Structure 1
Amino acid sequence: MNNQFGRKEVRYHNRSNELICAVRVALWNYKPAAVFGTRASDPALSVKTGGITSTEIAAIVKSAATKAGHGPARFSTHYVQIGGATVLLNTGVDRLVIKLMGRWLSNAFEEYSVLSFKGSAELSRNMCL
């Protein structure tokens, strides 16, 4: 895969038992490849006619928001990226990993993220160590 600067980039993921697992998602993308006419070397988010665009992803996000009873104008692909960074921060993932995997060019994801109950659950215990 090429990053936003056009340089070759390879990422490795390990399977986890979490609901959101990169390996599980990769398998979900791999199985329908025959249906979409893609090859193993093609990007995960692609179809025979080309890649899936951020516009298409945004339409899916907005449709899901509408079905959930929310105003679609409030949602975009940026929120998917922010949500991913927030979950990773709250589970203790290193900030550099989040920056690289999320293709953040700055540390802006730290400003957007929200500390959740789950993310702060261990704080008081750690302060007593």
Structure 2
Amino acid sequence: PRQRLVWGCLLIGYFFLLRRSEFLKIGKSYHFYCLKRRNAFFSDDEGRRTSYKLATSVTVGLEGAKNDQFGRGSWRTMSASGNKTLCPIQGLRHVLQARKLLRQEVNPHLCAGLTVQSVVQVIKSTARRIGVPAAKYSSHSIRIGGATALASAGASKIAIKFIGRWLSDCFEEYPRHAASSSKGLSRLMIR
């Protein structure tokens, strides 16, 4: 169940271009805006809450961010990718099932106590296993990887900036809206 939690949280972080502080525990604490369970749900084409079986997307709401000191928050929706393994819908499903198996259903944070350190260990271990330099990968690789995948697949700069909640164009250094504006982006990310 723990590996399932890690995998699901990695998928959510990747597809929503989350900063580590937006979905993981840092040290012994969470930032106030760390993604809460109540703010992540399966959704339909209009971004409305629905069941897993009827879901065409996942919607997440952040109560703030590093670049949102006033805590205005933001909501983003990502549609199904069309891939059974790499998909935001499957990511949320993995997280929810793992939370249940780990008896973490009452944990208010979506990723149920998963720390940056434990995620970095998984990332670096995977890098070593496939023969790439582990030192080049960190928790930020999740966000960078998602932005790079979108840019490489031809997603517009505005769409990338919107999903990643960037206020500047700094994301352009990495690779080289509403629910309807993100439709199809998750499909681009797995090509």
Q: Distance in 2 between the 1:70 and 1:92 partners? A: 26
The answer to which structure has the higher strand fraction is 2
Deviations 1:1-43 (A, max 9, x none): 3231333433223223135221121111111121222338844
TM-score (norm 1): 0.67
Q: Distance in 2 between the 1:15 and 1:36 partners? A: 26
Q: Distance in 1 between the 2:136 and 2:64 partners? A: 28
The change in CA–CA distance for 1:70 and 1:16 in structure 2 (over 3 A counts) is closer
* Aligned position for 1:3: 64
Unaligned runs of 5+ residues in structure 2 are 1-61, 177-187
* Aligned position for 2:78: 13
**RCO higher in structure (CA 8 A, sep ≥6):** 2
TM-score (norm 2): 0.49
Q: Specify which of 110, 131, 134 is matched with residue 69 of structure 1.
A: 131
Query: In the comparison of the two structures, how many residue pairs are matched?
Result: 111
User: Deviation of residue 87 (structure 1)?
Assistant: 0.8
Letter in 2 for 1:16: S
User: Deviation of residue 100 (structure 1)?
Assistant: 3.4
Paired residue secondary structure (2:77): coil
Is the counterpart of residue 98 in structure 1 residue 164 in structure 2?
Answer: no
User: Deviation of residue 62 (structure 1)?
Assistant: 0.9
Paired residue secondary structure (2:78): coil
Q: Distance in 2 between the 1:84 and 1:106 partners? A: 17
* Aligned position for 2:144: 82
The change in CA–CA distance for 1:71 and 1:90 in structure 2 (over 3 A counts) is closer
Q: State, as a whole percentage, how many aligned pairs show the same letter.
A: 29
Q: Specify which of 99, 105, 113 is matched with residue 175 of structure 2.
A: 113
Deviations 1:86-106 (A, max 9, x none): 111222333233223334343
Unaligned runs of 5+ residues in structure 1 are 120-129
Q: Based on CA coordinates, which of the two structures has the bigger radius of gyration?
A: 1
Deviates more, 1:3-12 or 1:34-43: 34-43
The change in CA–CA distance for 1:13 and 1:70 in structure 2 (over 3 A counts) is closer
